[in-house]
Structure 1
Amino acid sequence: MRGRQIRPARLVQNVQEELKRTVMGSDKTYKPPWLNIVSSVPPSETLVRPIPTQHTAVSGSSKAKKPRNIYRPQKIVYLEDKLRATFYKDHPWELARPRIFLESDGKDGQRCDWSKGVRQPGMALTGESVVQRQLYLMEVKNMSQNKAYDEARKEFYRLRQADEIERRVAVEEARHVGAYFGMTRGDVGMKLEDQEFENWKVWAGKETAARQAQAASEVETFDSNDALPDEDADLVEMTEATLERGA
């Protein structure tokens, strides 16, 4: 059995020593981006696997205290996940709305003041607005989950209805002065569906005719005028001759 490998444990020291050396005097040596992190949080040097941090409280039952999956990392669960799942379960079509996942510096969420309502400046009205507003009402206003959900949902409905009315009025005003918008997305979808249905009717007609022709060809028909094979004809003549002799 091989001994312990200590080379990975000295990786940080080796890299730091190499950075101090100047092999090429004119060339600048750059520090690896992972060096500071590994230096501040070094890997474990013991062979004993540590037990991960328990994020959830263990109940007093005997089954929960059994050593089962104690070395598996615990699942990190946030309250927003449950609220988000509830909202999109009740409003599945909100997932079909296009969204822009773009942040300037990654701190856009810190600029939102959810005490002023669901609508936030510089942020589109989505289901995430309802989730954050509901979370604020639960943590700051001490509302229950259902009451906070109803409050945030009603604000969302009013703003969404106002947006729809504003959009409809803008379209009517533009058409009044001669603007033409063409077919909507629903009209385009219906047109494509009608085309596919017509293609299916043509294909179904051809398949039905082919199956009827195949079924008709498999049915055998017999005619009294059809000529019998030679062996069958000889057998018939012998039978007739035998009957005549017996008579």
Structure 2
Amino acid sequence: MGRHLRPLRVHQLASQMLETGRLQQEPPWYRVVGAIPPTTTLVRTPPVQLQDKKIRKSARKPSRMFQPHRIVYPEDELRSRFFQDHPWELARPRILVENDGKDFMRYDWSKMRQPGKMLDGESVVQRQMWLMENQGRTKVEAYDIARKEFYDLRMREDIERRVTAEEALSVGAKFGKSYMDIGIELEQRALEQWKEKAIALLQLKRGRQAAFSGTTEEDPATAATPEVTPGAAEGVAVPAAAAAV
């Protein structure tokens, strides 16, 4: 029992070692443990002995009534299929508002477009479910119908967006740069920076070669490229001055 009580005597042993000089300074926990000592009440739970074999058998096998049931919604499989075929739909901006997940009750899914709801993957899922439950369509047939309606509406939205932009431009509206224009500018800027670094590195390399050989080299950024014209031989290019001679 004394072996189990050794952790409770840590503060006492540390105090003795400080008094005898075996410890030069107090440990960081010394004052905390002295102010709030650990409890000395030890609880030992006796092992439970099961005499009856039936009780042992039932204890080894948990009762099935406590196992949680797996909750499966048919829409989950449809969502997984749609977003697997259309992964970029997950990158579209969405309105972050809480809902109760009852879109199937709030809208009339006999048609794809719903007033007050943005067209998205959930529209395809709910439309597919409606076709399966009300028209007896198979999963594949309902998916093809809902997907075609989704594509048509997306194309119509794109056309409406372009027409709106053209009408706005015709009356003097000005739009900022598109994401594609901004991306091209950033790419061009990166290419220009790379070109400057490459020219500087080439100048440094040629300068070292010139210093080693004792000759001078032209600036690679300003050096003129000689004009070439087709030579007498097929596929050979020679300087224009040599061709004139």
User: Smaller-chain TM-score range?
Assistant: 0.5 to 0.7
Which residue pairs with 1:241 in the alignment?
A: none
Question: Does 1:89 pair with 2:84?
Answer: yes
Give the number of the structure with larger relative contact order, counting CA–CA contacts within 8 Å between residues 6 or more apart. 1
Q: If the length of structure 1 is used for normalisation, what is the TM-score? A: 0.53
Which residue pairs with 1:236 in the alignment?
A: none
Q: Percent identity?
A: 49
Distance of aligned partners of 1:210 and 1:109 in 2 relative to their CA distance in 1, 3 Å threshold: farther
Distance of aligned partners of 1:108 and 1:83 in 2 relative to their CA distance in 1, 3 Å threshold: closer
CA RMSD of aligned residues (A): 3.2
The Cα shift of 1:125 comes to: 0.3
Q: Secondary structure at the match of 2:98?
A: coil
Q: Secondary structure at the match of 1:173?
A: helix
Matches of residues 154-193 of structure 1 in structure 2 within 5 Å?
154-193=148-187
Which residue pairs with 2:93 in the alignment?
A: 98
How far apart, in 2, do the equivalents of 1:105 and 1:81 lie? 16
The correspondence for 1:114, drawn from 102, 109, 114, is: 109
Which residue pairs with 1:123 in the alignment?
A: 117
How far apart, in 2, do the equivalents of 1:113 and 1:3 lie? 64
Which residue pairs with 1:147 in the alignment?
A: 141
The Cα shift of 1:78 comes to: 3.2
Unpaired runs of 5+ residues, structure 2, are 1-43, 48-58, 213-245
- Give the counterpart letter for 2:183 in structure 1: G
The correspondence for 1:136, drawn from 130, 133, 153, is: 130
The Cα shift of 1:163 comes to: 0.9
Distance of aligned partners of 1:92 and 1:200 in 2 relative to their CA distance in 1, 3 Å threshold: farther
Question: Does 1:2 pair with 2:45?
Answer: yes
Distance of aligned partners of 1:146 and 1:203 in 2 relative to their CA distance in 1, 3 Å threshold: farther
Q: If the length of structure 2 is used for normalisation, what is the TM-score? A: 0.53
Q: How many residues align?
A: 156
Unpaired runs of 5+ residues, structure 1, are 5-45, 56-75, 220-247
